[in-house]
Structure 1
Amino acid sequence: MDDENATTGQPIEERPHGEVARHPARPSLGPASRPLVIAHRGASGYRPEHSRAAYELAFAMGADAVEPDIVPTRDGVLVLRHENEISGTTDVAEHPEFASRRATKTIDGIALTGWFTEDFTWAELSTLRVRERLPKLRDASTTFDGADGILRLTDLLAMLDAAGRPVGLVAEIKHAAYFESIGLPLDELFAAELRQAGWANDERLTVESFELDVLHLIRGRGIRASYVYLVEASGAPADRVARDGDAARAYADDVTPNGLAELALLVDGISVDKRMLLRADADGNTLGLGTIVERAHAHGLTVFCWTLRAENRFLGKNLRRPGGAARWGNWLEEFQLILSSGIDGVFADQPDLAIEARARL
């Protein structure tokens, strides 16, 4: 999931900054409080995202599930990174032996320059250390830079199996059409790793993607899971653009009455940018809720949204507090508004705050 910005209410006590309807025959994340609180890339508001420390903290905070982003290496090993371009989340630029790997590529229509997972073997990536992606916003998290290496999907599956309580996995498949085009089919690689780890028929598993094609392919490989389609607030899915070019059907068409009816035949749920859930004025003030949850539920679809974050930068203007982008604003007001919408699950960088907001409703 990409970064996003976003109500009114009384002031609340601020915690110290840095403190730590489904288709009935289909599986779910298992018994848990509702709405589900899904730790976005682990507890990424406190530790570098996708690090072992971030996932361990999410477990300790009581998250109902965790959400990894999945991309492949050159030799087909699935690793956990927000993007396949890793210069902002690892120390790869400090490794002179990899200087020649720096490249410019177009991924889903966007030109990026840096280092890409598909240009490394797992043995090479395993020498890197992870770091905070948003150091200006999350200075406290930077103290953990270099403490952990990159995790593989199989590493996280083992952590979940050893967690001591049921914790769901909401696995995001990234850039599937692009990786298919370079000979790294994520449906095949993902299904193989799940089978090897004993996760091919596990009720804790949800699979999500911004591309419907890869969800269809993974299900066709016999992976029993809940399937969730990620929906952007604008643009069109990369798999459709690769196939249809400028005529590609937009995400906006997927959330019309006809689009939702069609999706209900293909997937179990949708996961939307929170901007699609909230009403805001032209100045960026959060005013209330829209109707997408009710409309999707009417078609039998579950609804998740992303991403709940406490920092001013990610809140509506009327919910921000003086002190700059990194200061926590009136997060409780926004979190409770979203949680009260009837939504089935939320992705949160600070899962403890989302759990607190849910408890205080």
Structure 2
Amino acid sequence: MHARAVAATTTALLGTAALLLPAPDARAGAERPTVIAHRGASAYAPENTLVAVDKAAELGVDWVENDVQRTRDGELVVLHDDNLRRTTDVEEVFPDRAPWKVKDFTAAEIARLDAGGWFGPDYAGARVPTLKQYMDRVELHHQKLLLEIKNPELYPGIEQQTLKVLGNEGWLDEPHLATRLIVQSFSADSVRTVHELKPAVKTGFLGTPPVADLDRYADFADQINPSYGTVSMGYVASVHSVEGPHGKPLEMFVWTVNDANNARLVAGYGVDGIITNTPDVVRDALPAK
């Protein structure tokens, strides 16, 4: 996930002194935040690959986060960027296909790419998984999934398609919907579309909306999930004071916290979850349940 325009609006959103008070070491009686492995355990294995899911499971982390995009022939694949250059060898395999956008390649072409060698020689040969392959691996480990619909403006109808894959894989039954699945996006329209298509799905909006706008987001989002550097104890309390579409207080998962000090800081603010590349470091920094 990227902060995008968050930095430009942070001052306006959180500019009052009351919202910038330092947090205590921990809230009295607070629940321990959920730890979510960002793109899998991406500090230790190539992001958004099956081996990153395996590494999260090896570390004992229940929740993994991923990013979903769509190929030219309509396959949903798990990849963060809208192009293939950073995390695959696409420039070597297809040197004449610049700018190497995901949407310009078929699923079969993407399946040829090495999505692990960039991270380290031990991971050479890892592939970009399809969403179905990724979900099968998450299910194998009995994990939970925070799924981000990435760049939905590039992929009309991706919300309905994502829900179809989730349904085909059995992830829209009551047990999964109750405790094992959240769908999020930086696009409010995309989150709203998911909610309208399948109201039972828990949803999250990625960003830091002004407090005055939280009621509007609460019509379709169960979570407000901002960059950790844009929040404060006051903002977290404001989010928790608003009731979401399922009759419960809005939750907050913050991203991307990779060190013990900031993990303790945001836990003190009262966040509900911490998205991290280093889930073991964050987990070990938090107070025991």
Distance of 1:212 and 1:357 partners within structure 2 = 32
Q: Is the 8 A contact 2:253 2:275 kept in 1?
A: yes
| CA distance 1:223–1:58, shift in 2 (3 Å) | farther
Local SS of the residue matching 2:95: helix
After the TM superposition, which residues 99-138 of structure 1 pair with which residues of structure 2 at under 5 Å, given as runs?
Answer: 99-103=95-99, 115-131=100-116
Match of 1:305 in 2: 254
Q: What's the TM-score, normalizing by structure 2?
A: 0.82
Tell whether 2:120 aligns with 1:148.
Answer: no
Match of 2:149 in 1: 173
For residue 75 of structure 1, the aligned residue among 73, 76, 91 is: 73
Gaps of at least 5 residues in structure 2 are 8-21, 24-30, 243-248
Match of 1:157 in 2: 135
For residue 210 of structure 1, the aligned residue among 178, 186, 203 is: 186
Distance of 2:121 and 2:224 partners within structure 1 = 36
Tell whether 2:163 aligns with 1:191.
Answer: yes
Q: Is the 8 A contact 1:276 1:290 kept in 2?
A: no
Alignment-mate amino acid for residue 338 of structure 1: V
Local SS of the residue matching 2:269: coil
Distance of 2:3 and 2:84 partners within structure 1 = 16
Alignment-mate amino acid for residue 117 of structure 1: V
Q: Render the CA deviation track for 1:298-357: whole Å, top value 9, x for unaligned.
A: 112101100012xxxxxxxxxxxxxxxxxxxxx322211112221100100011111101
Identity of aligned residues (%): 29
**Superposition deviation, residue 292 in structure 1:** 1.3
For residue 38 of structure 1, the aligned residue among 9, 27, 36 is: 36
Flag the structure with higher strand content.
1
For residue 214 of structure 2, the aligned residue among 251, 260, 266 is: 260
Q: Is the 8 A contact 1:76 1:189 kept in 2?
A: no
Local SS of the residue matching 1:99: coil
Local SS of the residue matching 1:38: strand
For residue 262 of structure 2, the aligned residue among 331, 334, 338 is: 334
Q: Is the 8 A contact 1:276 1:292 kept in 2?
A: no
Match of 2:54 in 1: 56
Tell whether 2:7 aligns with 1:2.
Answer: no
Q: Is the 8 A contact 1:208 1:227 kept in 2?
A: yes
Stretches of 4+ aligned residues off by more than 3 angstroms: none
Tell whether 2:189 aligns with 1:226.
Answer: no
| CA distance 1:335–1:132, shift in 2 (3 Å) | farther
Q: Is the 8 A contact 1:85 1:116 kept in 2?
A: yes
- C-alpha RMSD of the superposition: 2.3
Tell whether 2:288 aligns with 1:350.
Answer: no
Q: What's the TM-score, normalizing by structure 1?
A: 0.66
Match of 1:281 in 2: none
| CA distance 1:195–1:79, shift in 2 (3 Å) | same
**Superposition deviation, residue 360 in structure 1:** 5.8
Local SS of the residue matching 2:146: strand
Tell whether 2:21 aligns with 1:66.
Answer: no
**Superposition deviation, residue 3 in structure 1:** 6.5
Q: Is the 8 A contact 1:47 1:132 kept in 2?
A: no
How many aligned residue pairs are there?
Answer: 257
Distance of 2:126 and 2:283 partners within structure 1 = 26
Distance of 1:341 and 1:53 partners within structure 2 = 33
Local SS of the residue matching 1:169: strand
Gaps of at least 5 residues in structure 1 are 9-32, 104-114, 134-140, 233-253, 278-288, 310-330
**Superposition deviation, residue 214 in structure 1:** 1.3
| CA distance 1:338–1:151, shift in 2 (3 Å) | same
Tell whether 2:269 aligns with 1:273.
Answer: no
Match of 1:280 in 2: none
Local SS of the residue matching 2:224: strand
**Superposition deviation, residue 186 in structure 1:** 0.6
Q: Is the 8 A contact 1:48 1:144 kept in 2?
A: no
Alignment-mate amino acid for residue 255 of structure 1: P
Match of 2:235 in 1: 292
